[in-house]
Structure 1
Amino acid sequence: MTVLVLVVDDEPDMEVLFRQQFRRDLRAQRFTMDFAGSAAEALTRIADTGGQTLILILSDINMPGMSGLEMLPEVRARRPDVPVIMITAYGDAETRKTALDRGAERLLTKPIDFGQLRQEIEARLEQAA
């Protein structure tokens, strides 16, 4: 079984950063990581995971077009089985409340604590096993 983590962010350098942080896991094929540059692309991607088991979605909040907060209810309606962690540079109380009210499991602030994120992914891997 191939497990998938989907990262949704409009900044191309985020893909490089995530691939660097998780390069050992990706090389060892513990999981795969896919990237969507927009909310619309993410919604298409979650509809067809190509036989992979989607275990986690990590999404930026501020993106052009549909924001991560606008995308969140759509994701929850289409894939209620997949937890979503929102990522933002602005971790104010109102943003946190909105994200959680719309179905996010957690809200992480930038700069991302990759140690904390690794623990989240490990927990999902254990659940998927």
Structure 2
Amino acid sequence: MSVYILVVDDEPDVEMLFRQQFRRDLKAERFKMEFAFSAAEALERAAELKEPSLILILSDINMPGMSGLEMLPKVRAERPEVPVIMITAYGDAETRRKAIERGAVGLLSKPLDFSLLRQEIDTRLVESI
């Protein structure tokens, strides 16, 4: 079974950064990463990656068009079993509160601590077995 992590960010270099950080995992096929460059594209991808293959969504908050916070209740309504972690450059208490209220399981601040993110992914992989 292939499991997917969906990364949502409007910055094109984020894909390269994630692929570099997780290159060993991707090469070993522990999981696959899909990338969406807008919230609208992420909603489409989340609908296409049928369960149980989608195990985690990582989404930036600030994006043009629909923000990550606006996308969050929509993706949670469509895929309530898939945890969503929001990523932001502004990790203030108000942003954290809004993200949690709208259904996020966590909030990571930029620059990302990839060791923390790896622990979260490992947890999701174990839960998906």
TM-score of the aligned structures, taking structure 1 as reference length: 0.98
Q: Name the structure 1 match of 2:55.
A: 55
Please give the per-residue CA displacement for 1:69-94, whole angstroms capped at 9, x wherever unaligned. Answer: 00000011000000000000000110
Task: Report what 1:82 is aligned to.
Answer: 82
Q: Give 1:108's aligned residue.
A: 108
Structure 1 residues 80, 51: CA separation in 2 closer, same or farther (over 3 Å shift)?
closer
Q: Please show how residues 1-129 of structure 1 align to structure 2 within 5 Å.
A: 1-49=1-49, 53-129=53-129
* Structure 1 runs, 4 residues or longer, greater than 6 Å off: none
- The size of the alignment, in residue pairs, is 129
- State the Cα distance separating 1:49 from its structure 2 match: 1.2
- Give me the identity figure in percent: 71
Q: d(CA) in 1 for partners of 2:27 and 2:51?
A: 19
Distance in structure 2 (CA, Å) of the matches to 1:92 and 1:70: 18
What displacement does 1:47 show?
A: 0.7
Question: Using the alignment, how far apart are the partners of 1:57 and 1:45 within structure 2?
Answer: 10
Show structure 1 runs of 5+ residues with no match. none
State how far apart, in whole Å, the 1-side matches of 2:75 and 2:88 are: 18
CA-atom RMSD in angstroms: 1.0
CA drift at 1:52: 6.8
2: distance between equivalents of 1:36 and 1:28? 22
**Closer, same or farther in 2 for the Cα pair 1:15/1:52, shift >3 Å?**
farther
> For 1:35, what is the secondary structure of its paired residue?
strand
| Letter of the structure 2 residue corresponding to residue 111 of structure 1 | P
Contact 2:87 2:107 in 1 (8 A): yes
In 2, distance between residues paired with 1:63 and 1:125? 28
Supply the distance in 2 between the matched residues of 1:45 and 1:14 (Cα, whole angstroms): 17
Q: Deviations over 1:65-124 (max 9, x none)?
A: 000000000011000000000000000110000000000000000000000000000000
